Structure 1
Amino acid sequence: MRWVDKFHINQKIFGAIIIALLFLASILGYIIWESLTNMMTDELKKRGLTIANTIAASSSDYILTDDYYATYMLITQAQQADEDVRYILIINNNHGLVSHTFAGDIPKGIIRAHVPDAFNRSNVETLTSNEGRIHDVLVPIEEGDIGFVRVGMTEKQAKSYIMKKIGKLIVATILVCIGAAGIAYLVTRIITKPINRLVRVALGISAGKLSLRAKVSSNDDVGKLTQAFNEMADNLISSNKEVEALLDELRDKDRQRDTLILKLISAQEDERKRISRELHDETSQALTSLIVTMRVMADEAKDAEQHELLTTSRDIAAGILREMRDLAVELRPPILDDMGLIPAMRKHVSKFEEKYGINVSMTVPNECVSIESHIAVALYRILQEGLTNIVKHTAATHADVHMEVGLQTISVIIHDNGHGIEQEDLEKARQQNRIGIQGMRERALLLGGTFQIEKSEDGGTEVKVSIPLKSPNRGGADGNDNENNVG
């Protein structure tokens, strides 16, 4: 019944009234038909009995005297006097046919179709023929001693009369339905007018016209509904204002949070740069001086034991110096500031392959593109964290790094052939407060970009980062607005 929902409420009410009227008319028509049919049947039987009794009383002498002509004329005149009489038969006490009103031969089997009972009483039998039902009335002549009279009363004329009356009833019913339909239409329009008006106001409010209100034109249920709707609309406006205020406050807090994170990342990069510079300029020089001093002392050692001890200490200091320089580069690679993002990425990938034995294929653009320095730092840090995650979590043996520079954005994709990351892994990392993936996402989002990590079709993990070339927050990632050449 879902198709009913497509109609308007006034159409539903109108349709229900029309269906009810048609149903009522059908029931009344059936009752009238049955009543008229029963009355007609009873009337035919009564007239048949009257005609049969009259003929039985008048034909006894004709039968006893074998006056067949008089008998025939008697039943013929009786048939012509009533158009509902289909036939009249006179049968003697031996069940032999004396006379009949059929124009030709009598129908086969009609003699035996209705025979008297054992008591020779008057009775009626309903016969079925190709002309319809015929009520065969049997009346004994002189209590059956002489014979019987049978009068066949047909329903044809009566049915025709009933059909004419039913036809007039149908026409009257149609006229009544038309009048009732007009009245029903007016009534439904009156009933549904305020509802339709309320619907239009509701649609207008849903479209954003919050100032619309429905007119209260009555104190009935619809009027109360309209009043409640207007109050709900007022409450909706009040709630929307509160929600807007909360949203503005939330946006302001988000902006403050983004600013604080940007300043934190900026301070972090500045501190990394300072520590890297101090490690490179001061600590490395001090270690270099110590190594030179120990080499001179080893050359001037008086015995082999002192020489061995100084040589071993020099080698340890040299190893510390190399690790210190590597740490300084990890904190802030000078090549990133001096030569640009792509050379820095290539150098990091080379050291990564050398350190962990994982083959990395790198695809970068050939042309030189100028980008802001803090964007270059963000992409470099995301590359560092992405390759580190490959070592820690994916058990991969190969990785691909792809960079693409468009008209508006710069994108980096890191893909490996490991077992891939699942949604459960991301949820577990969030619950354990791992900041690696979240840090990459924050760096991308703070610069107005997008970050996505998912399991690729071939089973590995794929990290996709896209950042606008002109970020909405300048000078955030490394504390300056310098430009960095890509390529």
Structure 2
Amino acid sequence: MIKLNIRQKIFITILASLFSLAILLGWIIWDSLTNMMREDLINRGNNIAVHISETSSDYILFDDNYAVHQLITETYELNEDVRYIMVLDSNSAVYEHTFSDSLPKGIISAHSDYNENTSNAKTISSDEGAIQDIIVPIEDSEVGYVRVGMSEKQANQYIFSKMTELLIVTLIVALFATGVAYFISRRITSPIQRLVDVASGISAGDLSLRVKSIKNDEVGELASTFNAMADNLINSNNQIDTLLKQLQEKEKLRSKLILQLLSVQEDERRRISRELHDETSQALTSLMVTMRVLANEAKDEEQQQLLFTSRDIAADILRQIRDLAVDLRPPILDNMGVVSAIKKYIKDFKEKYDVDVSFYTSVTEITDLDENVALAIYRIVQESLNNVIKHTEATRIKVGLILEDNNIKLTVSDNGQGIKEADFMKAQAQNRIGIHGMKERVEVQNGSFTILTNQLGGTKIIVSLPLIQKGRLS
């Protein structure tokens, strides 16, 4: 589809209007001239027929064929538009005519229905074009009739010549109008084109552009409004830049605070884990030793059994405390790395819950990994598996950890019922921030966090974190 600009549309509209007007006027003039020439032709034919009717009356009464023939022949030769003249008797039989040969077929019946109430002119078609056949009675048709055939050929040639002259004049006027239309369209659209160019430049980022040569018309008002809009745009951009800088500074401060909060949280976890492992575990161990000594020295069997039972309870509490200490801050994460820590956590998780958990990784271990990144990966795996147990009915979980384009990519998927928007709303209402917490951990490390429904209908979490310190694949 051809795309036209405003100038071309205005130019084509003006030309189309001019040519339409020329065609309409030409048709009106042609129709008017044709009707006028036909009426004039009929009037002249009628006058000729009346003249012959009045002159030939006596000739016919005295049966002077020669005089009648001489009359119609001279009249025929003196008038170029006369195609033929016929004189008929009172019975419509041909008395004299100007045809050199026999009469054309059907010409006699052209006025077979003529009477005083009908028109005395009829149009007859011929090889030469239309012929106006005029009939006039002689002595009220008691003597006969005179028929004169007036050819439109000469009239049409005259009209055609005049229309040719009109066409030439129209073409000259059209050429002149084309120049005027081009000038008008250019004068109208040039300011608009300048406005478009400036708008394109501003859209490309050059906010210093302005429309110049503003005239006092509608386009000038549009240009003034556009310039004012551009000024407001610069002010708005400056305000937006200021707000954006403030927002960026606040975002940096927010990220810094979150990192500090996570760091404090992990330090506190580490401290509690150490205290549970060192102090509480040692105290329980001492208590268990004391109970065993007391049980061995007990003289009453019932007291001895009670001490053994208490020792077993203390041993179970000791195991729970050690598991809690490991959950708070697994030593293997600091000593052996994130891959080993995830493997250990998944192994313990499978023993604790009846869920099939598989783990695949493209590396044996990632060494020299930033502590915050390692913690983020481990905590997300920990939180994701706990969420599956708490909120879904999944029976199978897949955990993946690969290195991809200098990034660490973690995926956790299950075959549960999936997470819906209503679940997020409910979690926010109940102040459960597990997923939001995972997302915050990822975003402060400049990573990406995506949660979606997998092919099995369950939930799939995709995390990508930058490899801050490039590791060595062992």
Structures share a fold, TM > 0.5? yes
The answer to whether the Cα contact below 8 Å between 1:91 and 1:99 also exists between their aligned partners in 2 is yes
The answer to whether the Cα contact below 8 Å between 1:92 and 1:147 also exists between their aligned partners in 2 is yes
Residue 51 to residue 218, structure 1, CA distance change in 2 (3 Å):
same
**What displacement does 1:57 show?**
2.1
**What displacement does 1:159 show?**
1.4
Residue 146 of structure 1 is matched in structure 2 by 143
Identity over aligned residues, as a percent?
Answer: 52
| 1:393 partner letter | H
Residue 152 of structure 2 is matched in structure 1 by 155
**What displacement does 1:63 show?**
2.6
Residue 316 to residue 453, structure 1, CA distance change in 2 (3 Å):
same
Query: In structure 2, what is the Cα distance between the partners aligned to 1:294 and 1:122?
Result: 146
| 1:8 partner letter | N
**What displacement does 1:102 show?**
3.0
The match for 1:359 among 349, 356, 364 is: 356
Residue 425 of structure 1 is matched in structure 2 by 423
Aligned ranges 1:33-112 → 2 under 5 Å: 33-112=30-109
**What displacement does 1:451 show?**
0.8
Residue 375 of structure 1 is matched in structure 2 by 373
**What displacement does 1:305 show?**
2.0
Query: In structure 2, what is the Cα distance between the partners aligned to 1:318 and 1:368?
Result: 34
The match for 1:23 among 17, 20, 38 is: 20
SS in structure 1 of the partner of residue 457 of structure 2: coil
Residue 456 of structure 2 is matched in structure 1 by 458
Aligned ranges 1:255-404 → 2 under 5 Å: 255-370=252-367, 371-404=369-402
Any idea what the Cα deviations from partners look like across 1:1-44, whole Å, max 9, x if unmatched? Answer: xx79x322222222222122112212221221121111101100
Alignment of 1:11 onto 2:8:
yes
Query: In structure 1, what is the Cα distance between the partners aligned to 2:119 and 2:258?
Result: 116
Residue 222 to residue 120, structure 1, CA distance change in 2 (3 Å):
closer
**What displacement does 1:177 show?**
1.2
Query: In structure 1, what is the Cα distance between the partners aligned to 2:430 and 2:66?
Result: 125
Residue 408 of structure 2 is matched in structure 1 by 410
Query: In structure 1, what is the Cα distance between the partners aligned to 2:440 and 2:152?
Result: 97
Query: In structure 2, what is the Cα distance between the partners aligned to 1:362 and 1:73?
Result: 129
The answer to whether the Cα contact below 8 Å between 2:59 and 2:67 also exists between their aligned partners in 1 is yes
| 2:156 partner letter | K
| 2:398 partner letter | D
Residue 222 of structure 1 is matched in structure 2 by 219
Query: In structure 1, what is the Cα distance between the partners aligned to 2:342 and 2:119?
Result: 123
| 2:60 partner letter | I
**What displacement does 1:146 show?**
0.9
Query: In structure 2, what is the Cα distance between the partners aligned to 1:380 and 1:176?
Result: 87
**What displacement does 1:120 show?**
8.8
Query: In structure 2, what is the Cα distance between the partners aligned to 1:258 and 1:122?
Result: 106
**What displacement does 1:377 show?**
1.0
- State which drifts further: 440-449 or 322-331: 440-449
Any idea what the Cα deviations from partners look like across 1:97-139, whole Å, max 9, x if unmatched? Answer: 2222334332333222213644499822233455443221110
Residue 124 of structure 1 is matched in structure 2 by 121
Structure 1: 5+ residue stretches without partners: 472-482
| 1:419 partner letter | Q
Residue 106 to residue 402, structure 1, CA distance change in 2 (3 Å):
same
Query: In structure 2, what is the Cα distance between the partners aligned to 1:82 and 1:419?
Result: 108
The answer to whether the Cα contact below 8 Å between 1:122 and 1:139 also exists between their aligned partners in 2 is no
- How many residues matched? 473
| 2:210 partner letter | R
Structure 2: 5+ residue stretches without partners: none
Residue 211 of structure 1 is matched in structure 2 by 208
- State which drifts further: 73-82 or 326-335: 73-82
**What displacement does 1:395 show?**
1.0
| 1:64 partner letter | L
The answer to whether the Cα contact below 8 Å between 1:120 and 1:143 also exists between their aligned partners in 2 is no
Query: In structure 2, what is the Cα distance between the partners aligned to 1:432 and 1:93?
Result: 121
Query: In structure 2, what is the Cα distance between the partners aligned to 1:221 and 1:118?
Result: 70
Query: In structure 1, what is the Cα distance between the partners aligned to 2:339 and 2:118?
Result: 125
**What displacement does 1:485 show?**
7.5
- State which drifts further: 367-376 or 450-459: 367-376
The answer to whether the Cα contact below 8 Å between 2:338 and 2:365 also exists between their aligned partners in 1 is no
Query: In structure 2, what is the Cα distance between the partners aligned to 1:455 and 1:236?
Result: 42
The match for 1:171 among 165, 168, 171 is: 168
- State which drifts further: 60-69 or 165-174: 60-69
Query: In structure 1, what is the Cα distance between the partners aligned to 2:220 and 2:108?
Result: 78
Query: In structure 2, what is the Cα distance between the partners aligned to 1:110 and 1:200?
Result: 75
User: Higher relative contact order at CA 8 Å, sep ≥6: structure 1 or structure 2?
Assistant: 1
Query: In structure 2, what is the Cα distance between the partners aligned to 1:342 and 1:120?
Result: 119
The answer to whether the Cα contact below 8 Å between 2:445 and 2:466 also exists between their aligned partners in 1 is yes
| 2:318 partner letter | L
SS in structure 2 of the partner of residue 80 of structure 1: helix
Alignment of 1:234 onto 2:234:
no
Query: In structure 1, what is the Cα distance between the partners aligned to 2:372 and 2:116?
Result: 126
Query: In structure 2, what is the Cα distance between the partners aligned to 1:459 and 1:199?
Result: 52
Residue 122 to residue 66, structure 1, CA distance change in 2 (3 Å):
farther
**What displacement does 1:226 show?**
2.1
Q: RMSD across aligned C-alpha pairs, in angstroms?
A: 2.2
**What displacement does 1:268 show?**
0.4
Residue 415 to residue 148, structure 1, CA distance change in 2 (3 Å):
same
SS in structure 2 of the partner of residue 168 of structure 1: helix
Residue 474 of structure 1 is matched in structure 2 by none
SS in structure 2 of the partner of residue 369 of structure 1: coil
Any idea what the Cα deviations from partners look like across 1:258-292, whole Å, max 9, x if unmatched? Answer: 00000000000011011001100110010011111
- State which drifts further: 454-463 or 220-229: 220-229
**What displacement does 1:300 show?**
1.8
